[in-house]
């Protein structure tokens, strides 16, 4: 099952993931809970089983109260321990959920487990109880991401410093993914978007606007009117929720104005709300880890596409990119791990790597590619030089959490 899921496209993952519910249906280890049943993989350790039970108990009690709508029947949560790193969840439109967890606990540090479970439970409401426009996945993914943080925060599992860093990282990932594209002109679906980072950024921006208009209302309570039984959540409904109580129609401008570039619009709005400022990018040290990886990936992607006749395929490891062995490239050694571009360790210092590639190409030289093992290769410069995905960073102001109503 895990082998079939590794590298599978989203639709296939859903299909195979759904089949697994049936496969595990006969297993022992059923924990009956108010509002749901938890099916434990015999390979799951007692400590993680208890953490999952606790967060399920909390969210399954909290969400019906917030929304005033209970699940139509008990939910079923199936856990599956896997040799794969990381984690994966899928929920059916009903009330079933499969949580794939890593055998190696260390690949899920901190409260990532609690966050993951809360995120998936929120989907039972945002895509199960309520209708959501599935063509715009940032709506339900962003809602699940932001709600999971608010739920963790209520349980005392997410501190100020961690939440600030997390918000800043997601805002920057979103600005990098969408860049100057016009939101109103973006194609439906997940491609060309970071549905998690952008969805969460837009949800918190909406909440900040509402906090301005509706002071004294707790963040989770402000989120609840976003979904209604009689009307599915789509972009128009989201805009109406976010702009309620304000005469500025700021969210409408950011998402529905055919002239508004997304990245500059997002930063302008954050500035206007007193939440953040822009900072010019000069060195890789300024970039949050996620964005640093993304920036490096952007350069690898541009060079690979040029060398491999438009094809791109690699996995990002901590210090290198493992190139997909199935691709055919002019000079890149596929199946190997690229660590340096134009002499610069690209994942550690992507900003310097962009500059070194640019300088080599401007001097009419080839681009040297260094690997974790084996000799260097040299590739021809692409027709157009890859540009940095981000030139301005979003930096939260010290009192940003106050603006969100998260600190009194
Ligand atoms: Zn999700």
Ligand 1 centre and the CA of 310: distance in Å?
Answer: 30
Ligand 1 centre and the CA of 61: distance in Å?
Answer: 20
Ligand 1 centre and the CA of 368: distance in Å?
Answer: 40
Q: How do residues 230-255 score in pLDDT, each as one tens digit?
A: 999 999 999 999 999 888 899 999 99
In this prediction, residue 3 carries a pLDDT of 66
In this prediction, residue 180 carries a pLDDT of 92
Ligand 1 centre and the CA of 209: distance in Å?
Answer: 24
Ligand 1 centre and the CA of 64: distance in Å?
Answer: 19
Beta strands in 22-170, from DSSP E residues, in sequence order: 30-33, 36-39, 75-82, 88-91, 96-102
In this prediction, residue 385 carries a pLDDT of 86
Q: Give the Cα separation of 194 and 176 in Å (integer).
A: 9
Ligand 1 centre and the CA of 11: distance in Å?
Answer: 14
Q: What are the tokens at 165?
A: 């860093």
Ligand 1 centre and the CA of 99: distance in Å?
Answer: 11
Nearest to 244 by CA among 223, 266, 264: 223
Region at 104 (left for phi over 0; alpha for psi -120 to 50; beta for the rest): beta
Ligand 1 centre and the CA of 165: distance in Å?
Answer: 21
In this prediction, residue 368 carries a pLDDT of 97
Ligand 1 centre and the CA of 278: distance in Å?
Answer: 29
Q: Checking DSSP bridges between strand 314-316 and strand 321-323, what pairing results, if any?
A: antiparallel
With contact defined as beta carbons under 8 Å apart, do 367 and 357 qualify? yes
In this prediction, residue 109 carries a pLDDT of 85
Ligand 1 centre and the CA of 123: distance in Å?
Answer: 7
Ligand 1 centre and the CA of 25: distance in Å?
Answer: 23
In this prediction, residue 382 carries a pLDDT of 95
Ligand 1 centre and the CA of 76: distance in Å?
Answer: 17
Q: What are the tokens at 76?
A: 């079923």
Ligand 1 centre and the CA of 119: distance in Å?
Answer: 6
**What separation in angstroms does the CA of 265 have from each of 139, 187, 205, 278, 392?**
19, 19, 12, 12, 13
Give domain limits for the chain. Answer: 2-110, 138-278, 285-379
Which residues sit with Cβ closer than 5 angstroms to ligand 1, an ion? 141, 144
Ligand 1 centre and the CA of 301: distance in Å?
Answer: 26
Nearest to 98 by CA among 1, 243, 178, 164: 1
Where b means 16+ CB within 10 Å and e means fewer, 269-285 reads: bbeebebbebeebeebe
Question: Mean pLDDT by 10-residue block, N- to C-terminus, for the chain (408 residues)?
Answer: 68 65 58 82 91 93 93 84 82 78 85 94 90 94 97 94 94 93 93 94 94 79 92 96 89 96 96 95 90 92 96 91 95 96 97 96 96 96 88 93 86
Ligand 1 centre and the CA of 44: distance in Å?
Answer: 22
Model-level pTM?
Answer: 0.83
Ligand 1 centre and the CA of 273: distance in Å?
Answer: 28
With contact defined as beta carbons under 8 Å apart, do 73 and 95 qualify? yes
Q: How do residues 165-179 score in pLDDT, each as one tens digit?
A: 999 999 999 999 999
């Amino acid at each position: 099952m895990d082998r079939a899921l590794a590298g599978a496209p989203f639709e296939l993952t859903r299909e195979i993931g759904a089949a697994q519910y049936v496969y595990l249906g006969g297993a022992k280890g059923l924990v009956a809970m108010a509002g749901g049943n938890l099916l434990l993989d015999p390979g799951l350790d007692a400590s993680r089983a208890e953490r999952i039970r606790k967060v399920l108990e909390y969210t399954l009690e909290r969400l019906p109260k917030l929304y005033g709508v209970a699940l139509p029947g008990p939910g079923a949560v199936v856990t599956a321990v896997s040799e794969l790193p990381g984690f994966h969840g899928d929920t059916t439109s009903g009330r079933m959920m499969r949580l794939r967890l890593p055998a190696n606990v260390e690949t899920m540090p901190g409260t990532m487990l609690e966050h993951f479970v809360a995120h998936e439970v929120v989907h039972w409401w945002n895509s199960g109880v309520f209708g959501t426009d599935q063509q715009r996945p940032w709506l339900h993914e962003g809602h699940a991401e932001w709600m999971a943080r608010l739920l963790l925060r209520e349980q005392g599992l997410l501190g100020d410093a961690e939440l600030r860093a997390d918000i800043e990282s997601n805002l920057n990932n979103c600005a990098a993914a969408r860049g100057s594209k016009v939101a109103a002109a973006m194609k439906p679906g997940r491609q060309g978007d970071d549905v998690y980072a952008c969805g969460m950024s837009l949800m918190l921006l909406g909440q900040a606007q509402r906090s301005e208009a509706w002071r004294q209302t707790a963040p989770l309570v402000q989120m609840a009117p976003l979904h209604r039984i009689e009307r599915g959540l789509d972009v128009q409904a989201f805009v109406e929720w976010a702009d309620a109580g304000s005469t500025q129609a700021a969210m409408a401008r950011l998402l529905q104005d055919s002239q508004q570039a997304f990245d500059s619009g997002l930063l302008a709005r954050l500035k206007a709300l007193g939440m953040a400022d822009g900072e010019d990018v000069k060195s890789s040290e300024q970039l949050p880890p996620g964005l640093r990886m993304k920036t490096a990936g952007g350069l690898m992607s541009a060079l690979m596409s040029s060398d491999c006749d438009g094809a791109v395929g690699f996995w990002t490891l901590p210090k290198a990119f493992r190139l997909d062995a199935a691709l055919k490239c002019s000079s890149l050694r596929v199946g190997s791990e690229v660590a340096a571009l134009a002499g610069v360790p690209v994942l550690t210092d992507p900003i310097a790597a962009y500059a070194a590639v640019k300088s080599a190409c401007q001097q009419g030289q080839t681009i040297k590619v260094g690997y974790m093992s084996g000799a260097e290769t040299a590739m021809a410069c692409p027709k157009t030089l890859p540009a940095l995905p981000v030139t301005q960073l979003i930096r939260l102001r010290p009192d940003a959490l106050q603006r969100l109503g998260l600190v009194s």
